[in-house]
Amino acid sequence: MNGLSTHFVWTNRGKESLCLDIKTSKGQTIVHSLLEKADICIQNLLPGATSKLGLSSAQLRSKYPQLISCTISGYGPKGPYQHKKAYDLLVQSESGLLSVTGTEQEPVKVCYLF
């Protein structure tokens, strides 16, 4: 669909996107105006990044008591990889999942449908 993968279209149907630089004051203003009206905030930034920006779950709960806040970490809050970035294809590779999908010549990423 218009240069987008089927997986992307299926998993993002009906979603709207907004690209912000939340390190800038303009980006912060926009984020906070969205959070005032939001029900849920889910973030998966590098561990510790939200605290530096004033957007940690604790900081958000204090400012927006109605907000449900969720922090996702690919490797968890403790352990040797706690500060590593994680994304779907990397985790599928590291876990060995790619070794059992597709063929040896052409591994295929698992697609999750919701």
Of the segments 8-12, 23-27, 104-108, 110-114, which one has the largest average pLDDT value?
23-27
Q: Helix (H, G, I), strand (E, B), or coil: what is residue 69?
A: strand
Number of H helices and number of E strands within the chain?
Answer: 5, 2
User: Which domains does the chain carry?
Assistant: 6-72 (3.40.50.10540), 80-114 (no CATH)
Residues 47, 82: contact at Cβ < 8 Å?
A: yes
pLDDT at 112 over 80: no
Tens digits of residue pLDDT in 84-103:
888 888 888 888 888 888 77
Single pTM value for the model:
0.66
pLDDT tens sequence across 12-55: 788 888 899 999 999 999 999 999 999 999 988 887 889 999 99
Residue 100 tokens read as 């059992």
Residue 14, token pair as written in the block:
């009906």
Alpha carbon distance 19, 13 (integer Å): 18
